[in-house]
Amino acid sequence: MKQANKRVLESERLYLRTFTIDDIDMYYPTLMNEEMRRLTGTHALFTREGVAQFIEESAGDSSRIDLLITLKPEEQVIGEISLMDIDRTNRNAHIRIAIFESSNCGQGYGTEAMEMLLDYAFGNLNLHRVELSVYSFNERAIASYEKLGFSREGIQREVLYYDYQYHDAIGMSILEHEFRERQQK
């Protein structure tokens, strides 16, 4: 049965939509993209069945929002973005993003998607703080996060072992008032 792809958030160039089980044929191969695996520090190998189960289970998990990033005119899915570990008591969450192909990097799509989800997190979910972790070699992502107003909070030294080397992770966060102040500029 074909499920409808629900648009959740929209900008001029993109919209963020929900995952459905019908996305498995498109999504599963992206998990094998070597560059995306490096940037996200992914070592795990996934089965098609495991990914399908994850999509089904995450749809019912109130502590997370998983969305696909889609280019409007082409209806082309170019990435994913998630708000996870949503803590409504302390009003904070963790955010992550992945653009599937390097040809779609450097065009502002990731920044635009992050801005939409941050606006939703601070406005609709009434969060106060959103945090993320990024590997120190991912300079393009770090620049994007800083452009959005994220501040560096600390470094986890040599937390990732990838390609026979250890890499640091940088913890970053943004507070609601910082995001709003940057939007008004």
CATH of the domain at 93: 3.40.630.30
pLDDT confidence of residue 40:
87
Nearest to 166 by CA among 138, 137, 132: 137
pLDDT confidence of residue 3:
45
Average pLDDT, the chain: 91
Please tell me the total count of domains within the chain: 1
Over residues 1-51, the pLDDT tens digits come to 344 567 789 999 999 999 888 999 988 888 888 888 888 888 888 888 988
130 lies in some domain = yes
76 lies in some domain = yes
The Cα-based distances of 57 to 4, 5, 46, 83 in angstroms read 18, 17, 15, 15
**Which residues constitute the domain of residue 169?**
7-183
135 lies in some domain = yes
Paired residues of 10 in beta bridges: 15
pTM, entire model: 0.90
Nearest to 66 by CA among 81, 53, 49: 81
Over residues 77-101, the pLDDT tens digits come to 999 999 999 999 999 999 999 999 8
1 lies in some domain = no
Paired residues of 173 in beta bridges: 131, 151
145 lies in some domain = yes
Q: Which two tokens stand for residue 145?
A: 């996060």
Q: Which helix (H) or strand (E) holds 76?
A: strand 76-87
85 lies in some domain = yes
Over residues 113-172, the pLDDT tens digits come to 999 999 999 999 999 999 999 999 999 999 999 999 999 999 999 999 998 999 999 999
42 lies in some domain = yes
